[in-house]
Structure 1
Amino acid sequence: MAHLTRAEVLASGEVDPEFRKAFEARPLIMNGSTFLESRALRAEHLQRLRHLYSIPGPIPEVIETMQDIPMRDGENIRVRVYQPANGPPEGGSPLIMMYHEGGWCMGDLTDEDLNCRMFARDLKAVCVNVEYRLAPEHKFPIGVNDCWDALEWATKNSSTLRATPSQGLVVGGSSAGGNIAAVLALLSRDSNFSPPITGQFLSVPVVLPSQNVPSHFSHLYTSRFDNNSDPVLRDMGDDSRISQIYEPEKNSPLWDPFNHVDGHKGVAKAFFQVCGLDPLRDEAVLYDQKLRASGVLTRFELYGGVGHMFWTNWPELERSKKFVEDTVRGMSWLLEK
């Protein structure tokens, strides 16, 4: 990313013709008459597409199990665990924690099934896919606390899971899940968590709330308001809609990883996947630059002409297939010593 100019970043916001053809032929219809209806429409929409994914369902190479795990408030949440069917490789399996997208208010375990199956099959990792509690039923910070509690549970039970976190401990997710991963990577550093998080996978992440943009970065934070061609997050603008549902604390480090009071030195290395049409594009660019300036190793992939979560909503595209392949390569890089 350091080699891209601002002009090149802006040029990535020009709509790819094949992408336009795809979303005009099959537009998203996920706005119900109520919030709960919209949540159900989103789930139904994605379920209809999963037969087009490179791994549409369970595979023999990966063992999948469901578990209920305890949270700090006495409630339980579900996680799905994915393990290499032939057992861990020599030295042991790294541990990958995945947190799904959906704006902290939608989504479930099916959203990260594909990634977890690929990571277990191709990288011989043990993956834990976390179904954290959603807003508006469960407001901030319940969801992010659930994700941290699941991380603690997984590391404490790593031998039972047949994982070896010393071979790598990665947190990851897309969109809201990317926000959670970035937050937990900082929390791991701040708490001297052991074993430490060694990598963060930040796919189209939310990392800088619009109301918290430093004034000297405002001219570089334009995609939130200018990227109006994205068929998923069109006219996103500020965070007012999410704030009404999730009700985050404006300056909490559990919401805003960019403006962390203690900076970013010493946080785990990061792999970014970012889309040119995405209203979230510029905050990812700025966060990558901030991490690099703090001495953090990063890898940044920018996909020009396509929008937020394009690979899940139009999986038949060649660009979507490449994105998925890049995801495995990027995770492999995160797991390198």
Structure 2
Amino acid sequence: MNRLLRPVLQLFAAPHLDMRRDYPRVRRLQRGLAASPTARFRALDLRIGDADGSREVPVRVFRPRSVHREDVLLFFHGGGWVTGDISSYTPACATMAEQTGCVVASVDYRLAPEHPFPAGLEDCWRVARAILEEPWRLGASHLEDIVLIGDSAGGNLAAAVSLLLRDLGGVAARRQILLYPVTGSDHDPATSPYRSVREHGTGLRLTSAEMQDYVELYLPDEALREDPMVAPIRADDLAHQPKTLIITAELDLLCDEGEAYGEALAAAGNAVRVHRVDGALHGFITLPRFARPVREAYGVIDAFLAEGPP
């Protein structure tokens, strides 16, 4: 990075937080900062669960004023598995619906530390399976119309859900979009294999210390941190995964691991496209829709959706 640019970008860095202590305050702040819904979409709150009536998961459905695609985007929000919810992500999901012309369904999965792994993943898998088996619940005609999408920890959950759907049998998603996803569990600059962790893990939007806090809250049992359902890049078998678009942010400590996951998927025979947004920080999809990284990302997403399923 240009040495003159870093001090400017550091102005946008979040203050240092001990997420293990401060996560309730961060949750409240995120909800407070979320803009009020606008007239660009209609929202409907549902609860979706298994056919047997077991646990139901809240889902907020965003319908843009002009629906010009049959695809339905099943969205898993970011926030380190600890923060974020359908309320704090309402502005981002409204933008997603508007920019893609798709119905967007945001899943309000359970959060750590109150509900550590695998609770959140189970919620996301339960909703994905139910929607893929009965796509009409979200207005889709065919399971091919359902696209899994997630940002950061949500990208991690989308990747893990795809692996679970394959391993447990039954229906599976045909496409997934992973936005600057977490794909590994080691974000310590001293031990991580990724250069982006060492170069961008301090002083920017997301720090290594913050990521390590998130992992500890989500996975208090250290023995689980290399589980492929936590670190998809550790999976022994990545075959038979959905057609995948991975979008990374250049100035993000997760950049290299997201791109490495794309390489691993491609090596296993999957159709993959990886796109890096230059000059972008982690979390950029929540910026206003006129921000350059947001416009660039949606241009790439639009082209991916236009290609259709494999």
TM-score range relative to shorter protein: 0.7 to 0.9
Q: Deviations over 1:243-298 (max 9, x none)?
A: 3211162232321211113x112211111111111111111121111111112111
Q: Which runs of 5+ in 2 are unaligned?
A: none
Aligned-partner SS, 2:115 = coil
Equivalent position of 1:176 in the other structure: 153
CA distance 1:203–1:86, change in 2 (3 Å)? closer
Matching of residue 223 in structure 1 with residue 196 in structure 2: yes
Equivalent position of 1:256 in the other structure: 231
Equivalent position of 1:39 in the other structure: 27
Q: 2:142 aligns with which of 159, 165, 169?
A: 165
Equivalent position of 2:242 in the other structure: 268
Equivalent position of 1:125 in the other structure: 102
Aligned-partner SS, 1:258 = helix
Equivalent position of 2:62 in the other structure: 82
Matching of residue 193 in structure 1 with residue 166 in structure 2: no
Q: Is the 8 A contact 1:170 1:334 kept in 2?
A: no
Q: Is the 8 A contact 2:93 2:104 kept in 1?
A: yes
Q: Is the 8 A contact 2:187 2:212 kept in 1?
A: no
Residue 331 of structure 1: how far off its partner (Å):
4.7
Q: Is the 8 A contact 1:200 1:334 kept in 2?
A: no
TM-score between the two structures when normalised by the length of structure 1:
0.76
Q: Is the 8 A contact 1:230 1:277 kept in 2?
A: no
Matching of residue 146 in structure 1 with residue 123 in structure 2: yes
Q: Which piece of structure 1 moves more, 169-178 or 124-133? A: 124-133
Residue 226 of structure 1: how far off its partner (Å):
2.8
Matching of residue 63 in structure 1 with residue 42 in structure 2: yes
Equivalent position of 1:7 in the other structure: none
In 2, Cα distance between the equivalents of 1:320 and 1:256? Answer: 26
In 2, Cα distance between the equivalents of 1:28 and 1:225? Answer: 18
Aligned residue-pair number: 302
CA distance 1:325–1:120, change in 2 (3 Å)? closer
Q: Is the 8 A contact 2:196 2:253 kept in 1?
A: yes
What letter is aligned with 1:103?
G
Aligned-partner SS, 1:322 = helix
Identity, in percent, stands at 24
Matching of residue 335 in structure 1 with residue 308 in structure 2: yes
In 2, Cα distance between the equivalents of 1:73 and 1:209? Answer: 34
Equivalent position of 1:5 in the other structure: none
Residue 136 of structure 1: how far off its partner (Å):
0.7
Q: 1:28 aligns with which of 2, 6, 14?
A: 14
In 2, Cα distance between the equivalents of 1:94 and 1:317? Answer: 23
Q: Which structure exhibits the higher relative contact order, with contacts defined as CA atoms closer than 8 Å and separated by 6 or more residues?
A: 1
Equivalent position of 2:298 in the other structure: 325
Residue 304 of structure 1: how far off its partner (Å):
2.6
TM-score between the two structures when normalised by the length of structure 2:
0.82
In 1, Cα distance between the equivalents of 2:244 and 2:282? Answer: 19
Q: Which piece of structure 1 moves more, 142-151 or 119-128? A: 119-128
What letter is aligned with 1:151?
A
In 1, Cα distance between the equivalents of 2:94 and 2:60? Answer: 11
Q: CA RMSD in A?
A: 3.3
Matching of residue 309 in structure 1 with residue 283 in structure 2: yes
What letter is aligned with 1:294?
A
Equivalent position of 1:286 in the other structure: 260
Q: Is the 8 A contact 2:80 2:215 kept in 1?
A: no
Q: Is the 8 A contact 1:236 1:279 kept in 2?
A: no
In 2, Cα distance between the equivalents of 1:20 and 1:103? Answer: 25
In 1, Cα distance between the equivalents of 2:129 and 2:265? Answer: 25
Q: Deviations over 1:103-141 (max 9, x none)?
A: 000001145445544554565533321000101111110
CA distance 1:88–1:225, change in 2 (3 Å)? closer
Matching of residue 245 in structure 1 with residue 217 in structure 2: yes
